[in-house]
Amino acid sequence: MASASVRDVAAAAGVSVGTVSNVLNRPEKVTPGTLGRVQEAIERLGFVRNDAARQLRGGRSRSIGLIVLNAGNPFFADLARGAEERAAEAGLSVLVGNSDENATREAAYLDLFEQQRVRGVLISPLGDTGPQLQRLRGRGIPSVLVDRQTENSTFSSVAVDDVAGGYLAVSHLVAGGRSRIAFVGGPLVLRQVADRLEGGYRAAAERGSATLEVIETGSLTVTEGRAVGERIRALPPSERPDGIFAANDLLAMGLLQALNMSGDVTVPRDIGLIGYDDIAFASAAVVPLSSIKQPSALIGYTAVDLLLQESDGGDAFEHGQIVFQPELVPRESTATGA
């Protein structure tokens, strides 16, 4: 009952194990007659290669690891899809781990991937994972940072210019006549969040008229957004912002829900709201949500591409820092009366 091994197949077909392996990996080196007999035996015995043995001998696995901040965020689902596509082209598969913005979980996945000797790791890092990644590198496992620029040119990275994105977002709000801007997002240790904020500051500074206040959140979820929205709604009009830049669409949708719950404060009449990522649901929101669009699938695709280059490229390889430009997608949530 135990699964058949190459040895069993060899016996059944009356050839040696070496030949079976050739049939599997270099069929052109095998005589048609022999090839047929072996294939028939494989079929008959229901033989399926054991990946563990393969990898043990070969030294490298056939999968790459991907660690995302939040699997529930469609942005990452799209990114994963792109990564998977490029990996499939190379005959590899992608293992997705969800760190849930939790350093412990992130470390656990890195450990897991290290044990599995994955071909490489794509990671949307939480905090400072440098040391861990260096360590993987030492073991021959390259990594690519996704959705995160890095000053550190010892790693490849694929990201979107978050500072530019933040700038776009706040500029758009200000251009619409909003001047008391609030940035909602966090934790600020997330580089993406910090950069978006940075861009926002620049835009606000440029137009002297606008102020930018920061409301830091514990995570980037709908629930968190809703909580902040409740608080804002309860503020007296004078202290209330008239423009909100949310660090991602999940937060923005939560904010929207809470703000428009009662009629006293509404988006976009009293508050202009813009999110980030332009997830598919953004346009279907209570009030269609303005957002900053990122080429999510392309990021994943490109990241795997870089990874493969590094993995195969040998010494000649140069780490690449790829930066895409974000794009403003204005919708009703930032519409002005005019």
Query: Which residues of this chain interact with DNA, rule CB under 7 A?
Result: 2-3, 5-7, 14-22, 24-25, 29-31, 33-34, 47, 49-50, 53-54, 56-59
CB of 195 to its own copies, least distance (A): 25
Identify the helix (H) or strand (E) that includes residue 74: helix 74-89
Q: Which does 256 bind (CB under 5 to 8 A by kind): its own copies, DNA, none?
A: its own copies
List, in sequence order, every beta strand (DSSP E) within 189-249: 211-216, 243-246
Confirm if 147 and 192 have CB atoms less than 8 A apart. yes
Residue 9 or 184: the one with the smaller Cβ distance to DNA is 9
Alpha carbon distance 245, 169 (integer Å):
7
Residues 257-276: x/- map of binding to its own copies (CB under 8 A)? x-------------------
Q: Which does 135 bind (CB under 5 to 8 A by kind): its own copies, DNA, none?
A: its own copies
If phi > 0 it is left, if psi is from -120 to 50 it is alpha, else beta; for residue 177 that is left
How crowded is residue 66: how many other Cβ atoms within 10 Å of its Cβ? 29
Which one, of 200, 250, 203, lies nearest residue 76 by Cα?
250
Reply yes or no: is the peptide bond before residue 187 cis, omega within 30 of 0: yes
Residues 116-155 that bind its own copies (CB under 8 A): 116-117, 135, 138-140
Residue 98 or 156: the one with the smaller Cβ distance to its own copies is 98
Alpha carbon distance 163, 33 (integer Å):
63
With binding defined as CB under 8 A, does residue 288 bind its own copies? yes
With binding defined as CB under 8 A, does residue 90 bind its own copies? no
Q: What are the structure tokens assigned to 104, written together?
A: 């412990």
Among 17, 103, 112, 298, binds its own copies (CB under 8 A): 112
With binding defined as CB under 8 A, does residue 81 bind its own copies? yes
Q: Which does 189 bind (CB under 5 to 8 A by kind): its own copies, DNA, none?
A: none
With binding defined as CB under 8 A, does residue 107 bind its own copies? no
Q: Which residues contact 230 (CB under 8 A, 6 or more apart)?
A: 258
CB of 300 to its own copies, least distance (A): 12
Residue 37 or 226: the one with the smaller Cβ distance to its own copies is 226
CB of 11 to DNA, least distance (A): 10
Walk across the sheet containing 93-98 and list its strands.
93-98, 63-68, 121-123, 143-146, 156-160, 321-324
DSSP state of 338: -
Among 175, 189, 234, 284, binds its own copies (CB under 8 A): 284
Among 189, 205, 235, 280, binds its own copies (CB under 8 A): 280
CB of 207 to its own copies, least distance (A): 30
Q: Which does 338 bind (CB under 5 to 8 A by kind): DNA, its own copies, none?
A: none
Alpha carbon distance 309, 133 (integer Å):
17
Burial label for 337, CB within 10 Å (0-12, 13-18, 19+), is exposed
Residue 29 or 231: the one with the smaller Cβ distance to DNA is 29
Calculate the dihedral angle through the C-alpha atoms of 148, 154, 156, 157, rounding to the nearest 10 degrees: 10
Helices (H), ranges, 176-219: 191-206
Binding site for its own copies (CB under 8 A): 1, 3, 46, 48-53, 55-56, 61, 71-72, 74, 77-78, 80-81, 84, 93, 95-98, 111-112, 114-117, 135, 138-140, 222, 253-254, 256-257, 280-281, 283-288
